[in-house]
Amino acid sequence: MESQQTVLLLTDEAATANAIATALGAGSGFQTNGTFSGLQGLALRLGQSPTPAVLVDIDADPQRMLSELEPLIARHPQTRFVVFSRDTSSALILRAMAAGVRHYMPKEAIAAELLGVLRRLAPAPAPVQTLGSLITVLGASGGCGATTLSVNLADQLQRLAQTSALIVDFDLVLGGVGTYLGLQGSFSLADVAAKSGRIDPDLVRSTAMNYSEHLHVLISPASANFFNPALVELANLHAVLDACRGAGEFTVVDAPRVGLEVAAALAGASLATLVMFQLNVKDIRTAQNLMLALSERGVSASRLLPVINRYQKRHSVVHLEDAQRAMPGVKLWLVRNDFHSAIQSLNYGQPVAQSAPRSALHRDLRQLAQHLLDLHRSEQGSKGA
């Protein structure tokens, strides 16, 4: 059977959606995968996986939509954007071309011209590239242990899967991963994101530092120059994440203090997003709000894993049951309060598997990593089916 290329559609008009569905009928070689009514959902979907073409109905507000499309088009240079409108004025067509639109089509021409345009513009399907899994770690508060979790999850994953793992240090203020592992270099995440042209896995591999043979770190700009760290070009964030996923089987992003939109972009591209918090009222509320905000931005709730750090059953004012009532129907992962092992790991600059292999902390981290490895294998298996 002939393979189908998937294109994305943004419109709030049923008639336009129906006309496009008819034009891309059986045997066309193209199919739409979901209809979006807003650019935010479309941008999130583009960040999760590439697509050869995007079809956009701009009639709701042509000038505004073209202005908002422009940075999205720049972020996805391999995707062809086709826009539709009833307005065929030369001024609007020129504005669309300036924004990077590849084809401007009157709506009445959809039936006769759309398929031919897509066959001309959309590149032939490239050989399937195996992409690794991205795992993001977010913190509900400062000092909740997100960086410790990130470092040790990456280390556990490379040990369990007998492969290599990459840590991306998105702590742009302090560079927590570099500080933890004693790494300081001249090139960082900012250099990868600032690359003009295609950002590819080879660039990530050559920029990342080796902590060990199988554990690599793309350090924060703060680890390259703490007193004057370079800015990370967030417009290229999705390209950077794609390159990281192409560079190895596992990438763990340590993002303890990022804004909500960056958190949503990271979570949207991730196999799983861990929300780290401690068992107190403030952290529970923050974790609850963060998970809700990510869900509202299109991140699947099934990909959000709340993790309670420094858990102790006794001598706690707030109990596990209180957190469970605040997050009903969600599995809460527990990392026990093993202060001695955690401090030993930090002081030695080593993952817990090296510094305290017999500890309760090591057992909890390994169990969580095994769950993520199972998710990864399940996802890879479904893609290959």
Write out the two tokens for 304.
Answer: 């959000």
Q: Are residues 141 and 113 in the same domain?
A: no
Is 127 domain-assigned?
no
DSSP assignment string, 215-263 = EEEE--HHHH-SSSPPPP-GGGHHHHHHHHHHH-SEEEEEESS--HHHH
Residue 186 to residue 309: CA distance in whole angstroms: 33
Q: Write down the pLDDT at residue 129.
A: 57
Q: Write down the pLDDT at residue 3.
A: 62
Q: Write down the pLDDT at residue 26.
A: 77
Residue 309 to residue 284: CA distance in whole angstroms: 12
* 30, HSE (Cβ side, Cα atoms, 13 Å): 25
* 223, HSE (Cβ side, Cα atoms, 13 Å): 26
Q: Are residues 141 and 268 in the same domain?
A: yes
**Domain of 22: which CATH number?**
3.40.50.2300
Q: Are residues 101 and 203 in the same domain?
A: no
The 10 Å Cβ neighbour count of residue 182 is: 10
Q: Write down the pLDDT at residue 20.
A: 93
Is 128 domain-assigned?
no
From 107, 138, 122, 152, select the one nearest 294 (Cα to Cα).
138
Q: Write down the pLDDT at residue 1.
A: 38
Q: Are residues 39 and 174 in the same domain?
A: no
Q: Are residues 197 and 258 in the same domain?
A: yes
Is 317 domain-assigned?
yes
Q: Are residues 104 and 173 in the same domain?
A: no
Is 219 domain-assigned?
yes
Q: Are residues 74 and 163 in the same domain?
A: no
The domain boundary, picked from 74, 96, 121, lies at 121
Integer angstrom CA distances of residue 187 from 122, 192, 193, 239: 36, 8, 11, 18
Q: Print the domain residue range for 20.
A: 5-121
The domain boundary, picked from 94, 121, 148, lies at 121
Is 19 domain-assigned?
yes
Ordered per-residue pLDDT tens for the chain, 385 residues: 346 788 999 999 999 999 999 999 877 888 887 788 888 888 888 877 778 899 999 999 999 999 999 888 888 888 899 999 999 998 898 888 888 898 999 999 999 999 988 888 875 554 445 689 999 999 999 889 999 999 999 999 999 999 999 999 999 999 999 999 999 999 999 999 998 778 889 899 999 999 999 999 999 999 999 999 999 998 889 889 999 999 999 999 999 999 999 999 999 999 999 999 999 999 999 999 999 999 998 899 999 999 999 999 888 889 999 999 999 999 999 999 999 999 999 999 999 999 999 999 999 999 999 999 999 999 888 766 5
The domain boundary, picked from 88, 121, 154, lies at 121
Q: Are residues 117 and 249 in the same domain?
A: no
Q: Are residues 68 and 156 in the same domain?
A: no
Q: Is the dihedral of CA 289, 292, 297, 301 positive or negative?
A: positive
Q: Are residues 211 and 339 in the same domain?
A: yes
Q: Are residues 163 and 255 in the same domain?
A: yes
Q: Write down the pLDDT at residue 78.
A: 80
Residue 84 to residue 88: CA distance in whole angstroms: 9
**Domain of 138: which CATH number?**
3.40.50.300
The 10 Å Cβ neighbour count of residue 353 is: 18
Q: Are residues 249 and 378 in the same domain?
A: yes
**Looking at the 3D structure of the chain, how many domains does it have?**
2
Residue 349, phi-psi category: left (phi > 0), alpha (psi -120 to 50), beta (remainder):
left
Is 155 domain-assigned?
yes
pTM equals 0.69
Q: Write down the pLDDT at residue 128.
A: 47
Task: Work out the angle at residue 160's Cα, subtended by the Cα atoms of residues 154 and 163, and round it to the nearest 5 degrees.
Answer: 70
Is 330 domain-assigned?
yes
Is 126 domain-assigned?
no
The residue assigned the tokens 């990438």 is 251
